Structure 1
Amino acid sequence: MEPTPLLERTWTRGLLDVLIRAGLILVLVLFCFQIFSPFRDLMLWSLILAITLYPLQQRLMGPLGEKEGRIATLIVLISVVILLVPIYLLGTSIADSVDNAMTIVKDQGLQIPPPNEAVAGWPVIGKPLSAIWLQAATDLPGLTAKYIPQIKDISLALLGRVAGVGMGFLTFIFALIIAGIFMAYGKAGSHAASQIASRLNGPVKGPKIAALCTATIRAVALGVVGIAFIQMMLVGLGLVFKGVPGAGLMALGVLLLGIMQLPVTIITIPVIIWVFATEGPSTATIVFAIYIFVAGLVDNVLKPLLLGRGVDVPMPVVLIGALGGMVTSGIIGLFIGPVVLAVGYQLFWEWVEDRSQEEGGV
């Protein structure tokens, strides 16, 4: 039986209404995303910090009272004070290192030794590298003039990265303040998250998905990012107080290695060797060497305490998240990337396992 013209017109009109509504919703979503996108990383990191610190707030609610706002404010104030001192010291160290390097180049000039003859024998890159190196040792002004555009681009990129690091730490402080506001409404936020998850995944799976996301965020934020940050502070403060050149940059290297799950001894052992070679064995250098070596291994003690707790996130996922986050969002992405990718990884495998169980039950 063929549809009547009236039925066709009704069906066409209904489809047109659906398409118009969907288009309007899509436009609204795009506008909302465009407006929100400048604050995306800030709000995302604030939410991660709030979820991570909320158990501490719940523990303090008994001894310090039942008002979430006061306890959240106290946690934020203490955290900001704790962070500002080492960040200031590391920032001052980076500035001093750059200033000292410029002073040395200005006063003494940049002396580059000629390349070893074996360099020219390296495959593929040996001869061009040896030629550039030799020209740098014999005619540095000429080489600099030849590659001025490239040097300018690299210099601007490095300055941008350094500025990005400073802005990242400033964003970190602002995110901590916003996280305090989130924690002040912790119970309402937890209920809203459960409602959203239930709306997307059903009333049975919704709370389970919300709990999985919360557990993953806390495990990765504490067990990976938190431990790396603690290591950076401990090692960085030791380097600053010892007066090691480039202490701030080395501390950032410790942070990067810690998040990528690589041994921090890659930095600490060469520093210990350099200190003994320049200052010789003494009480101060021995104490410094012991402190730096232990600080570089503190993750082996903290990881069993903070990482895992029922959440299995492979280290390659954390590594890819750290590198990808740093490339896309700078220093703040270094923190956000592993957490977000770990949550996505856990949700993906939760979906795979649920699908397998459904097929097995058929």
Structure 2
Amino acid sequence: MSTRPELSEWLSDRMGLVVLTVVSVLLAALIVLPYLQYVLLGVILAYILMPAQRQLEKHVRSMTAALVLVVVAILTILLPMMYVLAVALGQALDIAMAVQDGSLNVENVEQQIELEIGYAIDLQETYDTYQEPIATGLQEVATGALEFVGGVPSILIGLTVTVFVLFALLRDGDRLVSWVRYVLPVEDHVQRELLNELDQLMWASVVGNVVVAMIQAVLLGIGLMVLDVPSVVLLTVAAFVAALLPLIGVFAVWMPISIYLLVVGETVPAAILVGYGLLVSASDTYLRPALIGRTSAFNSAIVVVGIFGGLVVFGAVGLFIGPVVLGGAKITLDLFAREWAIAEGNPPVGPLPAADPAAETATETGITGESAPGEPAVDDSNGADGPEPAPEDDSAEDGEPGSSDGPTP
């Protein structure tokens, strides 16, 4: 049981220190906010690479392992990601310019549609009707591209921040988690349970969901390349984003392309793409449960709202961190409601809200495993099992800011 004094009494006796702390935190937040998305990207990469860091630390020093993994992340993640996004942006601009300057032969498309379906469609009239919103959309694409090019120096600075955050977290991640647990005025058993639940949520959103989307997007991109579909990189990026969304997936990309191929007379490629696309979409049924499992705070509504809201608030990294923020809020509210009920003498009946024994991640590998129904989850990193461990004095164990016994960040 924690030996910390009552928080309200402690704060009232040290008001000067409280004001100084609040001002310091606000100033620090003002410094971090301009590059928040790059800091979060570093956190995500550190979470992904931490199992490899632990394995390397068995053979080399912590700093050496962190340097090796930073170089690997730059060469295999950051640089390829920037290259793919640049190519996709270039293809999007080419399509936008082709539509805007009229280089697309609309008449040939109209004739082909009439031959295929026996019904004349005036695409030019449709374009003229919606010319203003189309022009506005194309202008926004062009403006975004110019802003991207003009913001390259800022992006490079941001990626430098990401690299240093990644290195620091890989080398000192355990100490950082222990420090956070030390300064956070929350009971130790609640901290352990919260970190365990957040670990499951991070695995489901950042690792499992992204890996599934990446696999499906690459498979679809290979199929589009074999069928000689133009703008393959742009369509692959679009498939990756679509695959992140539940109930939508890569179907939103390959189906319109199949219809287009059918309309322009490419019947065989259209049929092949339909069959191949169905296989890629069906892989979601097997890949997602295998990698993600189930977690009580990770459902379709949280994913969709988290992705689109995260894009607005955090930028591109919000695709991954948005669902974690929403799911983490749900977990925290569940824990708060449970602890409040216990404090009022009304312990909850049945399974505790934040506990979900169906989704567990191994400390070393991060691979999900299945627990038996009704069997409490086990937190191997702290030696406490179940969402409500027996009272114990953890102040000596968790009160040291330099302790390295904290859970994986």
TM-score over 0.5 for the pair: yes
Pick closer, same or farther for the CA change 1:105–1:40 going to 2, 3 Å.
closer
SS class of match (1:244)? coil
Distance 1:201 1:180 in 2: 28
Count of residue pairs the alignment pairs up:
316
Distance 1:68 1:48 in 2: 19
Pairwise CA distance, 1:324: 0.6
Gaps of 5+ in 2: 1-10, 109-123, 349-409
Pick closer, same or farther for the CA change 1:97–1:53 going to 2, 3 Å.
same
Distance 2:242 2:322 in 1: 15
**Residue in 1 aligned with 2:75?**
81
Letter in 1 for 2:140: A
Letter in 1 for 2:244: I
1:239-264 residue CA offsets vs partner (Å, 9 max, x unmatched): 35654234344333323322221232
Mapping of residues 208-287 of structure 1, within 5 Å: 208-240=193-225, 242-261=227-246, 262-275=248-261, 278-281=265-268, 286=272
Q: Which deviates more, 37-46 or 85-94?
A: 85-94
Distance 2:173 2:44 in 1: 13
Q: TM-score, normalised by structure 2?
A: 0.62
* Structure with the largest fraction of helix: 1
SS class of match (1:200)? coil
Aligned: 1:341 with 2:365: no
298, 306, 324: which is aligned to 2:309?
Answer: 324
Q: TM-score, normalised by structure 1?
A: 0.69
Instruction: Give the conservation status (yes or no) of the 8 Å contact 2:93–2:142.
Output: no
Bigger Cα Rg: 1
Pairwise CA distance, 1:38: 0.7
**Residue in 2 aligned with 1:192?**
179
Aligned: 1:55 with 2:51: yes
Instruction: Give the conservation status (yes or no) of the 8 Å contact 1:200–1:206.
Output: no
**Residue in 1 aligned with 2:62?**
68
Instruction: Give the conservation status (yes or no) of the 8 Å contact 1:76–1:180.
Output: yes
Root-mean-square deviation (CA, aligned residues, Å) is 4.2
Instruction: Give the conservation status (yes or no) of the 8 Å contact 1:313–1:342.
Output: yes
Distance 1:219 1:56 in 2: 18
Same amino acid, percent of matched pairs? 22
Distance 1:200 1:299 in 2: 41
Pick closer, same or farther for the CA change 1:80–1:293 going to 2, 3 Å.
farther
Pairwise CA distance, 1:343: 1.5
SS class of match (1:231)? helix
**Residue in 1 aligned with 2:394?**
none
Q: Which deviates more, 53-62 or 212-221?
A: 53-62
Distance 1:104 1:264 in 2: 25
Pick closer, same or farther for the CA change 1:71–1:154 going to 2, 3 Å.
same
**Residue in 1 aligned with 2:42?**
46
Pairwise CA distance, 1:28: 3.3
Instruction: Give the conservation status (yes or no) of the 8 Å contact 2:40–2:317.
Output: no
Mapping of residues 119-158 of structure 1, within 5 Å: 137=128, 154-158=137-141
32, 36, 46: which is aligned to 2:32?
Answer: 36
Gaps of 5+ in 1: 1-14, 114-132
